[in-house]
């Protein structure tokens, strides 16, 4: 979980840098968090489901829906963090989730005894954004002055930590399905996949103030001024062609989606610069209320020169990307009306970015939150999938069950390790249901309405035009 700790630091740095420090006035910040996710189930449709008689155009879009967590739920999640602030207000960030408007464009044209197809599908989208920070703080510690020595310190400032990252998968397909006779059909689809991962963050720190020290006739009055902009950005992209083979014999369909293991090229680049009195390894604040510490840093010029500590976070390592191959056997019990299919998955959906040297400082020490460097590993795996699909007139629906699991960093089999009487373990995961239903209304120009209930909820609409 090391990589997400970077994001956690970016998101919560304002609270941890100065939390519970004597002499600090730290108001509760405002925070807005948004998570968008979308999955397009059109990618899972059979490549053999084409019309050999009529050309067809298809367009669909997931209807963007927004959901916000209730105030009560937010209070329960973040109530402990409210103790970091001094105004006795609850830290209640605004948290919302929304569905992306994933789209599908598909055209089928009968020709040369078969059907040529083209499609572009936004298969999956994930985006996280937050805007948070401390709009203002005031720090004025109390000193135990003696022997004619007088010291004083005042710091004012603000901290802003906006951050976003996005993960996506798009697929463009060229395909051809050829019907040999009434019993045998063959198909080949070539998919051009594009995967991307982008991350952007800023840790902007503005601190102003004065430090004073006087004894007898010696007086020092030093202005403090820090305006630190700390950008962090990363960008990875991968493009890859893969085939899908399909065959039909009588009422049996067999198709195989061949996927891959590859590396997305890109880089993660960033740094953060902090005032010398903030530990860059763990973001703790030095004891500025200690007279000896204050005088020492006045003498060595740290205050006079507004010195800082800088940590570089850079890696040119490629991101490993894996997608599973799938073998599906389908039996059309009543052709075009009722079918049953079984799919076996080989491999998992997985991304990895590992660099043991990231965050290592010039003196060889490591950061407290990255003791082993960058280690970002995340995967989702499906072992088995059984689906039953039915169509009656304008209406259609599907019901199924799949074996699903997930892992993150060194935490394997996250779902199957959950002790719950409601989760049934099978194969390499736990059994989860799938449920979808919809209608295609009309004749030549048709209106599509579809609701995917499980495992990921999506409401979709679109049009189908039969030429």
Cα 188 to Cα 255: distance, rounded to the nearest angstrom: 9
Q: Which residues contact 211 (CB under 8 A, 6 or more apart)?
A: 151, 152, 153, 154, 220, 222, 224, 294, 298, 303
- The pLDDT of residue 20 is 55
Highest mean pLDDT of the ranges 18-27, 284-293, 439-448: 439-448
Q: Is 13 helix (H, G, I), strand (E, B) or coil?
A: helix
**121 pLDDT tier (thresholds 50, 70, 90):** very high
13 cis-preceded (ω within 30 degrees of 0): no
What residue has token string 């009588």?
A: 250
Highest mean pLDDT of the ranges 4-18, 272-286, 386-400, 401-415: 386-400
Whether the pLDDT of residue 16 is over 70: the answer is: no
Q: Break the chain into its structural domains and give their ranges.
A: 2-466
Average per-residue pLDDT for the chain: 86
Q: Is 14 helix (H, G, I), strand (E, B) or coil?
A: helix
Label the pairing between strands 94-99 and 31-39.
parallel
DSSP letters spanning 80-135: GGGGGSSS------EEEEEE---EEEEEEEEETTEEEEEEEEEEEEEEEEEEEEEE
Whether the pLDDT of residue 12 is over 70: the answer is: no
Whether the pLDDT of residue 182 is over 50: the answer is: yes
Q: Residue 5 class from Cβ within 10 Å (0-12 exposed, 13-18 middle, 19+ buried)?
A: middle
For the residues 197-204, what does the mean pLDDT come to? 89
Cα 205 to Cα 8: distance, rounded to the nearest angstrom: 17
- The pLDDT of residue 7 is 39
**74 pLDDT tier (thresholds 50, 70, 90):** low
- The pLDDT of residue 6 is 39
In this structure, the number of other CB atoms found within 10 A of the CB of residue 112 comes to 8
User: Are 289 and 208 contacting, i.e. CB atoms less than 8 angstroms apart?
Assistant: no
Whether the pLDDT of residue 404 is over 60: the answer is: yes
The residues with which 39 forms a beta bridge, in sequence order, are 124
Distance of CA 147 to the CA centre of its chain: 58
What residue has token string 């991101």?
A: 319
- Give the torsion through C-alpha atoms of 414, 420, 421, 426, to 10 deg: 10
- The pLDDT of residue 456 is 78
**1 pLDDT tier (thresholds 50, 70, 90):** very low
Cα 16 to Cα 13: distance, rounded to the nearest angstrom: 5
More confident call, 144 vs 349: 349
**215 pLDDT tier (thresholds 50, 70, 90):** confident
Lowest mean pLDDT among 13-27, 251-265, 327-341: 13-27
- The pLDDT of residue 5 is 40
Distances (CA, A) of 203 to 156, 163, 208, 358: 17, 9, 17, 18
Whether the pLDDT of residue 30 is over 80: the answer is: no
pLDDT exceeding 70 applies to what percent of the chain?
Answer: 91
Whether the pLDDT of residue 198 is over 90: the answer is: yes
Element (H, E) at 459: strand 458-466
In this structure, the number of other CB atoms found within 10 A of the CB of residue 124 comes to 20
Structure tokens at 430: 């736990």
Residue ranges with strand state E in 302-428: 308-315, 319-322, 325-334, 338-346, 349-355, 374-392, 395-408, 424-426
- The pLDDT of residue 24 is 78
Cα 189 to Cα 192: distance, rounded to the nearest angstrom: 10
Element (H, E) at 275: strand 261-275
**34 pLDDT tier (thresholds 50, 70, 90):** confident
In this structure, the number of other CB atoms found within 10 A of the CB of residue 27 comes to 14
Structure tokens at 308: 């800082």
pTM of the model: 0.84
- The pLDDT of residue 77 is 66
What residue has token string 């490629």?
A: 318
- The pLDDT of residue 99 is 82
Whether the pLDDT of residue 39 is over 50: the answer is: yes
pLDDT in tens, 149-180: 888 999 998 888 888 989 999 999 999 999 99
More confident call, 324 vs 214: 324
Q: Which residues contact 432 (CB under 8 A, 6 or more apart)?
A: 401, 402, 403, 404, 454, 455
User: Are 207 and 157 contacting, i.e. CB atoms less than 8 angstroms apart?
Assistant: yes
In this structure, the number of other CB atoms found within 10 A of the CB of residue 63 comes to 13
Whether the pLDDT of residue 310 is over 70: the answer is: yes
Element (H, E) at 76: helix 71-78
Count of residues making up the chain:
467
In this structure, the number of other CB atoms found within 10 A of the CB of residue 433 comes to 11
User: Are 208 and 157 contacting, i.e. CB atoms less than 8 angstroms apart?
Assistant: yes
Whether the pLDDT of residue 13 is over 50: the answer is: no
Cα 455 to Cα 401: distance, rounded to the nearest angstrom: 10
Whether the pLDDT of residue 195 is over 60: the answer is: yes
**11 pLDDT tier (thresholds 50, 70, 90):** very low
């Amino acid at each position: 979980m090391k990589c997400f700790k970077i994001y956690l630091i970016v998101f919560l740095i304002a609270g941890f840098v100065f939390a519970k420090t004597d002499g600090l006035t730290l108001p509760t910040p405002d925070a807005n968090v948004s998570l968008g996710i979308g999955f397009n189930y059109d990618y899972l449709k059979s490549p053999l489901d084409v019309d050999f008689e009529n050309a067809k155009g298809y367009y669909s879009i997931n209807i963007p829906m927004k959901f916000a967590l209730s105030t009560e739920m937010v209070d329960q999640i973040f109530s402990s963090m409210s103790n970091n602030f001094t105004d006795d207000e609850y830290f209640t960030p605004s948290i919302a989730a929304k569905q992306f408007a994933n789209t599908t464009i598909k055209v089928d044209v009968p020709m040369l005894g078969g059907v040529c197809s083209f499609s572009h599908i936004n298969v999956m989208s994930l985006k996280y954004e937050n805007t948070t920070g401390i709009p203002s703080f005031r720090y004025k510690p109390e000193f135990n002055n003696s022997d004619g020595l007088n010291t004083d310190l005042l710091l004012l400032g603000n901290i802003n930590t906006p951050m976003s990252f996005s993960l996506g998968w798009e697929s463009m397909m060229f395909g051809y399905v050829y019907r040999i006779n009434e019993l045998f059909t063959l198909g080949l689809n070539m998919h051009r996949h594009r995967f991307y991962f982008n991350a952007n963050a800023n840790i902007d720190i503005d601190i102003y103030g004065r430090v004073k020290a006087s004894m007898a006739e010696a007086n020092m009055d030093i202005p403090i001024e820090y305006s630190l902009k700390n950008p962090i950005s990363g960008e990875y992209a991968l493009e890859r062609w893969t085939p899908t083979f399909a065959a039909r014999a009588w009422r049996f369909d067999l198709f195989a989606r061949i996927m891959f293991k590859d590396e997305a090229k890109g880089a993660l680049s960033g740094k953060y610069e902090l005032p010398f009195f903030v530990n860059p390894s763990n973001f703790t604040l030095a004891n500025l209320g200690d007279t000896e510490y204050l005088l020492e840093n006045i003498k060595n010029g740290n205050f006079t020169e507004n010195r800082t500590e800088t940590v570089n976070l850079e890696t040119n390592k490629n991101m490993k990307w894996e997608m599973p191959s799938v073998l599906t056997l389908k039996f059309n019990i009543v052709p075009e009306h009722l079918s049953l299919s079984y799919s076996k998955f080989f491999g998992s959906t997985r991304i990895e970015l590992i660099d043991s040297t990231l965050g290592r400082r010039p003196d060889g020490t490591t950061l407290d939150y990255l003791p082993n460097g960058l280690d970002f590993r995340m995967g989702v795996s499906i072992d088995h999938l059984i689906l039953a699909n039915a169509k009656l007139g304008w209406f259609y629906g599907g019901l199924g069950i799949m074996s699903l699991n997930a892992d993150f960093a060194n935490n394997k089999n996250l779902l199957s390790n959950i002790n719950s009487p409601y989760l049934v373990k099978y194969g390499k995961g736990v059994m989860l249901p799938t449920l979808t239903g919809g209608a295609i209304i009309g004749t030549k120009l048709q209106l599509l309405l579809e609701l995917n209930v499980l495992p990921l909820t999506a409401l979709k609409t679109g049009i189908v035009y039969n030429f």
